[in-house]
């Protein structure tokens, strides 16, 4: 027996549900297969019977499991879902990703808030237009993004920036010159707000992406801070031998 659960404010049954969901997603328990018995799960994870039942009920409500009286609990066929997002290595990769598969955009808030910039990012524009929104595909939210756009650039195509993904619009504007662009990726966990927007449990692993685009004079014209569902991120890199 071992206890895999740390000291967390997240209820034990929710943590167990996430762990079981991960095994199902990885194919440890394939579709049509039967889960270990409640007693086996109690023994493996050192939890009470009620904890196992609550975790199974969560996954049953999500359509992943089918408890059958007298027979056990079975794994359902996984519902069809969008392919994981391949995080591109260039701006044009990102533009192509959204150009051919446009997500639904839900605006959460819009303002003229300044971004937090580091000296390595570049110099700040006089004013920024801020948008925070959720991107969804096939009815499932997959990222929450905060966008800081140089207000001068925003005024070139305000309707498009409000209704389309920003990177393709930036590349399409002839008066906008991007001299440098970079992004970083870290692994984090969902806070209360992100968990609510993405319909995932609190502390679920997420991908934290920060994108910065600068003009030839070093002005940061775009900053995107994106939180992706962990199961939507696919990063593939060629390694030099």
Reported pTM: 0.71
Closest of 148, 134, 146, 139 to residue 196, by C-alpha: 134
3-class SS shares of the chain: helix, strand, coil, % to 5: 30, 30, 40
> 154 Cβ partners below 8 Å, 6+ apart?
129, 161
The domain segmentation of the chain, as residue ranges, is 12-75, 85-234
CATH code that applies to domain 12-75: 1.10.10.10
The pLDDT tens digits for 166-224 are 999 999 999 999 999 999 999 998 888 998 999 887 778 899 999 999 999 999 999 99
Question: What mean pLDDT do residues 122-128 have?
Answer: 96
> What CA–CA distance (Å, rounded) separates 150 from 8?
40
Scored b (16 or more CB within 10 A) or e, 136-151 reads bbeeebbbbbbbbbbb
Superfamily of domain 85-234: Chorismate lyase-like (3.40.1410.10)
């Amino acid at each position: 027996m071992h206890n895999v659960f740390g000291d967390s404010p997240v209820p034990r049954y929710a943590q167990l549900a996430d762990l079981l969901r991960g095994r199902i997603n990885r194919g440890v328990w394939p579709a049509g297969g039967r889960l270990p018995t409640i007693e086996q799960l109690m023994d493996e994870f050192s939890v009470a019977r009620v904890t196992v039942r609550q975790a199974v009920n969560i996954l049953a409500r999500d359509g992943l499991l089918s408890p059958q009286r007298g027979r056990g609990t079975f794994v359902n066929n996984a519902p069809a879902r969008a392919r994981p997002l391949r995080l591109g290595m260039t701006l044009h990769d990102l533009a192509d990703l959204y150009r051919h598969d446009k997500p639904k955009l839900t605006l959460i808030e819009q303002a003229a808030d300044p971004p937090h910039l580091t000296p390595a990012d570049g110099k700040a524009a006089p004013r920024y237009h801020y948008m925070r929104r959720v991107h969804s595909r096939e009815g499932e939210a997959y990222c929450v993004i905060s966008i800081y756009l140089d207000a001068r650039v925003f005024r070139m195509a305000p309707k498009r920036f409000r209704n389309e993904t920003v990177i393709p619009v930036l590349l399409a504007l002839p008066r906008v010159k991007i001299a440098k662009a970079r992004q970083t990726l870290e692994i984090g966990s969902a806070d209360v707000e992100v968990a609510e927007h993405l319909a995932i449990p609190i502390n679920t692993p997420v991908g934290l992406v920060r994108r910065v685009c600068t003009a030839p004079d070093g002005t940061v014209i775009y900053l995107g801070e994106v939180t992706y569902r962990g199961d939507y991120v696919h990063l593939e890199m060629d390694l030099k031998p």
